[in-house]
Amino acid sequence: METIFTKIIEGAIPSVKLHEDALCIAILDINPVHKGHTLVISRTPYPTISECPSETLAHLMHVAKEADAKLRSTLGCQGTNIVINNGKASGQEVPHLHIHIIPRYDDDQQKFGFIKHPYADGEIAQYGKKLEF
């Protein structure tokens, strides 16, 4: 399936490329949370991690770790959010597997917008039982 990222990989759409190898490229996100926000994109357009071989996923995470180190050493961010929006329900806009590496700074006032809910009495144990793997 063709996505905006396959077009970037083919060079049909311009990007600022930070890294490339046999399995992935890393580019700057065009609409960053903070400058330097990086995307590590699988060359093969797996829609989500479910379709991606584990070895490839491990490689993408290895490259994300290198991006994290570069952002910390060059921009001086104190942390990063490393995020995969994995499926449309999770907010994934481009159905082509990619990892976001988002620079974060102490007191930068950014937050995830999740609303969290505690479990009812005893419920956490039931979920634990159902979800063992």
Residues near ligand AMP (CB under 6 A): 4, 13, 15, 27, 29-31, 85, 91-94
Q: How far is the CB of 41 from ligand AMP (least distance, A)?
A: 9
Closest listed residue to residue 84, CA positions, set 122, 114, 57: 57
CB nearer ligand AMP, residue 4 or residue 72? 4
Q: Is there a catalytic annotation at residue 98? A: yes
| 1, two tokens | 């399936």
Residue 131 has φ and ψ, to the nearest 5°, of -105, 5
Nearer to ligand AMP, 112 or 133 (CB): 112
- CB nearer to ligand AMP: give 39 or 77: 39
Provide, rounded to whole angstroms, the least separation between the CB of residue 50 and ligand AMP: 15
Give the angle 46-132-123 at the CA atoms, nearest 5°. Answer: 115
Distance CA 94, CA 36 (A): 19
Is 113 or 118 the residue whose CB approaches ligand AMP more closely?
113
- Given the residues 59, 98, 100, 117, the one annotated as active site: 98
Closest distance to ligand AMP from the beta carbon of 90 (Å): 8
CA dihedral sign of residues 112, 113, 118, 124 = negative
Q: Which residues are 83's β-sheet partners?
A: 100
* In the complex, minimum distance from the CB of residue 115 to ligand AMP, in angstroms, rounded to a whole number: 19
Residue type at 67 in one-letter notation: A
Instruction: Return the active site residues.
Output: 98
